[in-house]
Amino acid sequence: MVETTYGYYAGCSLEGTAREYDQSLKAVLKTLEVDFREPDDWSCCGSTPAHTVDHVFAAALAARNLAIVEKTGLKTLITPCPSCMTAFKKAQHGMAKSDSFRQEVNELLDEPYECGVTAKSALQVIYEDVGIDAVAAKVTHTIPDLKVAPYYGCILNRPPEIAQFDDPENPVSMDKILAAAGVEVCDFAFKVECCGAAFGVPKRDMVNRLTYKVLTMAIDAGANCIAVACPLCQQNLDLRQEQVNSLTGSSFNIPVLYFSQIMGLAYGYSPEALAMDKVIVSADRFVRTRITVQQAREAKELQEQQAKAKGKSPKAAENKEETKSEEIE
Amino acid sequence: MPEIATQELRVVGFLCNWCSYGGADTAGVSRFKQPTDLRIIRVPCSGRVDPLFVVKALLNGADGVLVSGCHPRDCHYSDGNFYARRRLEMLKRLLPFLGIDERRFYYTWVSASEGARWQQTVTEFTNRIHELGPLHIKKEATP
Amino acid sequence: MRVGVFICHCGNNIAGTIDVARVAEETRKIPGVAYATTYMYTCSEPGQNEIKEAITREGLDRVVVAACSPRMHELTFRRTVEKAGLNRYFFEMANIREHISWIGENKDLNTLKATEAVRMAVAKVMQDKPLYSTSFKVNKRVLVIGGGVAGMQAALDCADGGLEVLLVEKSPSVGGMMARLDKTFPTIDCSICILGPKMVDVAQHDKITLHAYSEIEEIKGYVGNYQIKIRKKATYVDWSKCTGCGACMEKCPSKNSYDAFNFGVAPTRAINIPFPQAIPKKAKIDPNYCRQFVKGKCGVCAKICPTNAIDYEMKDEIITEDIGAIIVATGYSLIDMDKLPEYGGGRYPDVISGAQYERLLNASGPTSGHIVRPSDHMEPKTIAFISCAGSRDKSIGIPYCSNFCCMYIAKQAILTKDHIPDSQSYVFYMDIRSPGKGYDEFTRRAQEEYGAKYIRGRVSRIYPKGNKMVVRGSDTLLGAQVEVEADLVVLGTAVVSTPDAAHMAEKLHISYDTFGFYVESHPKLRPVETNTSGVFLAGACQGPKDIPASVGQGSAAASKVQALFSKDMLESDPAVARVNMNTCVGCLKCLKTCPFGAIKEKELRDGRVVADVIETVCAGCGVCTSTCPCGAIQLQHFTDNQLLAEVNAICRK
Amino acid sequence: MDTIFDDRHMNTINLSNDVDLDFIKQVVKESGENPSLCYQCGNCTAGCPYSHYFDYPVSQVMRLLQAGQKDTILNSKAIWLCATCETCTTRCPCDIDVAGIMDTLRIIARRENRVSEKDIKLFYDTFLNSMKQFGRIYEVGILLLYNLKSGHLLADAELGPKVMGHGKINFLPTKIKGADKVAQIFNRFQKKAKKHG
């Protein structure tokens, strides 16, 4: 149980295409006893487009929200969407560093912002404030043959000077959180490659080719599911998976879930509660095989006894199954 | 040359021969531009700097005094700079009682290889003295 | 008093930004100044003659030279005035180059500043007293710290010159980095074949005492008379009995000890002899892995040893030695690959450092010279080399070039082709730095004869794909992103100073730069000297250096020691503290503060106790002088009056 | 590789006349970065996910900047195809915020009305308009409007049913109470921009 109360900035995507992120994350935070309040009447952070107009303007759009949170007296703002988070952190960084910049920004605002709020990704709050042990403590269910490739995307941990969290080249927070939730995690080399971000709409082919690489590497890593922490990543990998298939002649059919959904499954939430129906590539085949930790333990013991009887290691047996399930993909 | 003398203030620097004097040389060799107010006095070790020198300089017309030695533990004479630090800390607290703003006195450590650091030290300290303006002992009596 | 002032143009270095004529003119107004002139190059022979003549012609009894830094030419001019019959301490220098003409932009202000610098020097010189140095005996033993190629060269040259040498090496064998190399550029001759004989000479030379697996504990004293403490670290093997037969190593059950000599390419035994040619060829136990130490029971080596040399109870031993000069040759280290997370060194077994690859190439290495990749022991066909892995990389605090990576990578590319004819090497580089004799031709050969593909661009990322490592870089000449699917990736990791470089410098009282490399007393003219007389530098401890350069410095340092020891007596610096018996109240504060214990109590006939300075021990820091409550103890040449005279010269109210 | 030989042949650059020093100064001022720190190692190009689509790879954009080639840069596709993934900034050995410089170049290009990638700008504008109008982003609206204006009427059309089917999006925009406040930020900025020309 974390003492402080957090702010929670959903951001536009989590109201729309990324509802399942919003819904599942709130559920998980509830289980982890993280207390949070949503600032009322928040507005869009400005995201990438604002940055093509002007630095001060972009900062102002972000700072408006930070100012609202600041007034409520909250110090830390959970920001599930990396794009919003970067917008906030950049504004914060620039305004804290230079008085003149802060003035210029505040000139555009009704309520001045005094740099009193720190935006943190949901991952950072769970990893640093809640802690791995607390994450593990709440696990009730498990999905035996789920193998997840944790995909952080480009800006979650970059640039280090702004992100101030985890390793920019080989981040591990999601790996450890999911592992703690009892999920098998693959060593995924493309963790931080860019998926094409906001270019999905105007530069579809470019994005499809980038996502193709990410999906291929995930399969190579032996994953049968990808975990994400970013609405854009999710959209480009999931929603556009069929575009990729038709463009490259591939036949990907790999579910792309928010890490919070996977945690939710481990915490025993119903698929509805986690809005599993909202992802395009269905993950039902995993949800169906979900069992309780207790059952898993019994199954394992049984398997070991049989193994002893047959005198062959249970591991080998598993491996065979793995390779099969991959071929199907 | 009074007309140009007036633009300048009087800054005196006591530099140890092994580190800081060498650092000032390095800055020169690298042509790192600096304000010209500083007048350098070479001493073997910052531990040789008697607080009396600093006071005397300030009472007799210096507007600021800078002392620089080897970094702690790098002293050419093992620990002369530790003695320096102890004395100069005392001096800092003493200055206001003489009616001198303690910001007019500064001591630091610069090694023989730190030309850039020396340039920065001189520039910042000289600017500080220019902000404080010429030293008029009576006016500054603020113990 | 008749002071003569000589103001140097130093070509345009000074005259360009200082109106020297005006300085001379202002100087003539200073009371006490009898003569002031300017000269193009005062340090030149005619320049110095000019001074000598002026001294006699004008009857000068004090001399000031306004020119470069005293750290540059003070000694030069002291000799000059001495030749003209003045005491060498009746001389002062005003530094109007490094401290004025080179850093000030306004000519008028520079000229004013220079004038005042001269005024200060004049004020000081008029306070100067004649000083006479006494002479003291030199201990003609030399300590060499570090048994790499530079240190061994220095030791051998000193010993051949008849000097007694103490060689202290912190690892169990001499040889250093060079002993671990396979071949050397640009001649491709076998490294150990040319180094081995030197190592044997070191071991057999009757003038050299080798302390391997030992470290410098403490250094006291001054040039000609140092007292040092050496820590002989416990090897748990009595080297007087050990024959180096290696039986213990074969039988040792703990087979997974870290092998520092092979940069951890393969494990070694807890008791081991680092390599076949090791000097001394003695075994040593690594207590971090030895079962006797970890588990408390084993004793296999003790049982097996034919000479009962094993001694689990052995403790470190401290020995004391007296020496007269020190040559520092402590070498360099390489950065850990985890400083470059985007390359995955350490995480991915098939991304290794150039040093590790050197051991794979080496016939006496863990793979007996067969190139295999660590992950699956397959022979790699595609090898990617990445130069500047950490070098010239401000973002990790290493802005400098590591000097020899370009060359050894070219060498390794060539050797790779020799070992695996059907292999293909790719070399990612930013610039090829090959300024040595025959060096550039060598890098060309790597490309022209051995077909190594050189790609001009940095590598951004390395990641595994199947059983290959994908190296994603750029070819800036094509202006394109490029990829190589390599079986093995070799990083030319950056050269850094040794982990304890700073600590060692503090013991020696020598200065080191921001990166931990030791600072020579002049970058061009005194490359192996330090600012502490009696301490000299050799090899990469002063900055990244290849073998020829290190050997050269080793010999240079040796010759400096030879020169120093060519006299039986050394002149002491008379600028030491002196006590005025009449004013000393015997509080002995000075005795407590003196960093060198150069002050002792002395009882006068009338029974008064006063302080007394041991001249040869006093290093001349002056801490005592600013401690003395009654000004009784005065550091000569830097007395209170002399320094206050300088203050008063510029602070006049 | 197709990007190497297309419209990239420049005429001889007369370094004594054709170097726009003011442009360099402007970029330095607005980005707070110093392009002369770049020694052309190519790490940015090596790491950039979009290099294949750029007409000038990042490292060459940096080089063009050092050479004060204002027009070539501001007319380039590259500055618009950069998605600010920060790889270049993270790995630059000279600690240059390369992505920040690309950002600044886009801003300048926009200000001077020369945008080589109309679609991308259009998408951004549609995004910003939605924001100005509702205070938040109305995804359907953006997509439809964008398709209308860009003329790619059916772009991503096949995604429509998927999205709707999974009830991923709102059909109607949510307008926040403070929408006018957000609009104010736009207006104030435009006024200020006009004032400073």
C100-155 confidence digits (pLDDT tens): 999 999 999 999 999 999 999 999 999 999 999 988 999 999 999 999 999 999 99
Q: Does residue D145 carry a pLDDT above 90? A: no
Tell me the average pLDDT of chain B.
89
Give dist(CA A215, CA A195) in Å, integer. Answer: 10
In this complex, do C474 and D93 lie within 8 Å of one another by their Cβ atoms? Answer: no
C442-477 pLDDT, tens digit per residue, is 999 999 999 999 999 999 999 999 899 999 999 999
Q: Residue D171: its pLDDT value, please?
A: 64
Residue C111's pLDDT is 97
- Please report all neighbours of D, defined by 3+ CB atom pairs within 8 A: A, C
Over residues C73-84, the mean pLDDT reads 95
Name the residue ranges covered by the structural domains of chain A: 6-123, 137-293
Q: Which of residues 151-170 of A touch C (CB under 8 A)?
A: 167-170
Chains that touch C (3 or more CB pairs under 8 A): A, B, D
Residues A75-105 pLDDT 10s? 999 999 999 999 999 999 999 999 999 999 9
Asked if D43 lies within 8 A of C474 by C-beta distance, the reply is yes
Nearest CB to A44; choose among D103, D136, D189: D136
pLDDT band at A315 (very low <50, low <70, confident <90, very high): low
Question: Is A44's CB within 8 Å of D30's CB?
Answer: no
**Where does C296-413 show beta strands of DSSP type E?**
317-323, 325-328, 332-334, 351-353, 382-389
Considering only the beta carbons, identify the residue of D90, D123, D177 that sits closest to A160. Answer: D90
Question: Positive or negative, the Cα torsion across C438, C439, C443, C446?
Answer: positive
Those residues with Cβ within 8 angstroms of residue A246's Cβ, 6 or more apart along the chain or in another chain: none
Cα A211–A216–A220 angle (5° rounding)? Answer: 150
Instruction: Write out the two tokens for C418.
Output: 């020799």
Compute the distance between CA of residue D132 and CA of residue A48 in angstroms, rounded to an integer: 15
Cβ-contact C229, C319 below 8 angstroms: yes
Statement: A137-293 belongs to CATH 3.40.50.11810:
yes
The model's pLDDT over C562-615, given as tens digits with 9 standing for 90+, comes to 999 999 999 888 999 999 999 999 999 999 999 888 999 999 999 999 999 988
Is A6-123 in CATH node 1.20.1050.140?
Answer: yes
**Among the listed ranges A266-270, C319-323, D148-152, which one has the minimum average pLDDT value?**
D148-152
Q: Which pLDDT band, with edges at 50, 70 and 90, does C358 fall under?
A: very high
Is the pLDDT confidence value at B4 over 50? no
pLDDT for res D18 = 86
Return the domain boundaries, chain D.
6-111, 118-196
**pLDDT for res A204:** 85
Q: How confident is the model at residue D169 (pLDDT cuts 50, 70, 90)?
A: low
Q: With 70 as the cut, is the pLDDT of residue D112 above it?
A: yes
Residues C175-189: what's their mean pLDDT? 96
Quote the DSSP letter at residue C522: B
Q: What's the pLDDT at B79?
A: 85
Give mean pLDDT, residues C299-316: 96
β-strand partners of C483 = C472
Q: Which fold has domain D6-111?
A: Fumarate Reductase Iron-sulfur Protein; Chain B, domain 2 (1.10.1060)
Of residues A324 and C115, more confidently modeled: C115
How far D162 CA lies from chain A's nearest CA (Å)?
A: 7
| Chain C nearest CA to A196, separation (Å) | 17
Check pLDDT > 60 for residue B5. Answer: no
Share of chain D above pLDDT 70, in %: 91
Task: Check CB contact of A278 with chain D, cutoff 8 Å.
Answer: yes
Share of chain C above pLDDT 90, in %: 94
Say yes or no for a CB contact (<8 Å) between B48 and C635: yes
Cβ–Cβ below 8 Å for B1 and C104: no
C-alpha span between A319 and C357 (Å, rounded):
34
- B29 at C interface, C-beta within 8 A: yes
What's the pTM value of the predicted model, to 2 decimals? Answer: 0.86
Residue A317 has pLDDT above 80, yes or no: no
- For C272, residues 6+ apart whose C-beta sits below 8 A from its C-beta are C249, C252, C257, C259, C283, C284, C286
Confidence of residue D3 (pLDDT cuts 50, 70, 90): very low
Find how far residue A96's CA is from the centre of its chain. Answer: 28
Percent of chain B with pLDDT over 70: 92
Q: Given CB atoms, is A326 within the 8 Å cutoff of chain C? A: no
Chain D positions in Cβ-Cβ contact with residue A95 (cut-off 8 Å): none
Domain boundaries, chain B: 11-132
Given a cut of 50, whether residue C368 has pLDDT beyond it is: yes
Between chains, do B10 and C650 touch, taking CB under 8 Å as contact?
Answer: yes
Is the pLDDT at D146 greater than 90, yes or no? no
Asked if the model's pLDDT at residue B26 lies above 90, the reply is yes
Is residue B120 pLDDT above 50, yes or no?
yes
pLDDT at residue D92, rounded to an integer: 96
What chain A residue is nearest to C462 in terms of C-alpha separation? A189
Tokens describing residue C89: 């301490």
Based on the number of CB atoms within 10 Å of its own CB, is D25 exposed (0-12), middle (13-18) or buried (19 or more)?
A: exposed
Label residue D1 by pLDDT band (50, 70, 90). very low
Residue B74 has pLDDT above 90, yes or no: no
Name the token pair of C507. Answer: 């013991």
Give yes or no for residue A313 having a pLDDT over 60: no
Band of residue D2 on the pLDDT scale cut at 50, 70, 90: very low
Ordered by where they begin, the domains of chain C are 3-127 (3.40.50.960), 141-224+320-331+500-564 (3.50.50.60), 234-315 (3.30.70.20), 333-496 (3.50.50.60), 577-636 (3.30.70.20)
Q: Which CATH number fits domain B11-132: 3.40.720, 3.30.70, 1.10.3470, 3.40.50?
A: 3.40.50
